[in-house]
Each structure stands twice: as C-alpha cells, then as structure tokens.
Amino acid sequence: MLFLLTAGPAGVIYSQPIVTTWEKLSGIAATPTPIPTPDYAAIVSNFRRAEEAAFATSLNDNSAEVLVTMPVFAVGEALVQVQTAVQQLRDRKQFQRVVIEDLNIVQPLLEFPNARLLTRERHRIQTFTRQPTGDVLVAEQYFDADVAYQLAFDGQRWRVEKAVIAKREGVPE
C-alpha cells in the first residue's frame, strides 16, 4: 500500500492511502498463467517408442544418431537408464525388440512443474544376439508391469525424468 504525503511549510498536511491494482491501471482483469496439462499417454508412448528404437538399433551404424534424440523424450535418471541399457546390449553384442502392447494410465498426479504417474503396461521383449551366421533369438519375455513415472516440464515440453517398474507379473523370476 502506498501513501501520498504532501509536505507544507508546517509539516505534513494531508495523507491518503493510494490503493491500486493491475485491473485499475490497465482496465484488464489479470488471469493466471494456465498450467499445461500433460497428455500422459502420449508422453509415455513417445518415451517408450524412443527407448524401443534405441534398443533395436544398439548394434546398427545409426545407433548414435538414435541415442542423440533421446533427450527430446527423457532427462535425468530415465535418460541415463536408457543409455546404460543400450551400452549393456552393445557389450553383449545384442539388440532388443520391445513392444508395449497395452498402456493404461492408472493414476496421474500433477504437481506442476512435475507430474507423477502410475501405469499398467503389457511388454513383449525379444533379445537377439548377433552372430556371424545371423541374429539369433536368445530370450523372450512377456509380462504385465505396473510402472511409476516421474515427468518434468521444462517450459516447452513434458519429458520422462524417471521410470521404475514397481511390479511385474507373468515372468518367472
């Protein structure tokens, strides 16, 4: 709150509080900045497709080019997790075909600029080893998973910051 003080020859003569608001000055009512509501299914699907491409091309000549695109979809732990998995596949001379057959958003929680998300997903993962005679299927997994995601908004887009399989069914351990 501002006060207007007028000084005269004998001291302060008059004081009056000056109250103003943005609306009074501009004649326009202020509206809050809208919070971008994430399209959770699209964010997770795009992340998973990029992850699938990285795993499938781990032994290809264009693998580095595919990995360069990952930061568009993932940051933090999620990005490191994909990069580490790709390096492990390379070290074993393997690649994977990953298919997310079903994706259901179970529980979203928006805490802008972050969001947490629980999904129920069905994964099919085929692991191949590259040999001189050709690629050989060495493992196949088919399972349902409860996956916890943490998303982050950077001012332009939502990205997966963390992805953790909380529960996995259908695969003998």
Q: What is the pLDDT of residue 87?
A: 97
Q: Domain locations in the chain? A: 39-169
CA distances to 51, 138, 161 from 151, rounded to whole Å, are 16, 33, 5
Residue 36 has a pLDDT of: 74
Cis, bond preceding 71 (omega within 30 deg of 0): no
**Residues ≥6 apart with Cβ < 8 Å to 103:** 41, 44, 45, 48, 119, 120, 121
pLDDT of residue 56: 97
Is 109 buried (19+), middle (13-18) or exposed (0-12) by CB count in 10 A?
Answer: exposed
Q: Please list the pLDDT of the chain residue by residue as tens digits (173 residues).
A: 444 545 555 555 555 555 556 566 666 665 666 777 899 999 999 999 999 999 999 999 999 999 999 999 999 999 999 999 999 999 999 999 999 999 999 999 999 999 999 999 999 999 999 999 999 999 999 999 999 999 999 989 999 999 999 999 985 54
Integer-rounded Cα radius of gyration of the chain: 27
Residue 124: per-residue pLDDT: 94
Phi-psi region of 133 (alpha: psi -120 to 50; beta: other; left: phi over 0): alpha
Predicted pLDDT of residue 9: 54
pLDDT confidence of residue 37:
81
| Residue-level pLDDT at 65 | 94
* pLDDT score at 35: 72
**CATH code of the domain made up of 39-169:** 3.10.450.240
Both tokens of 42, joined, read 């699209």
| pTM exceeds 0.75 for this model | yes
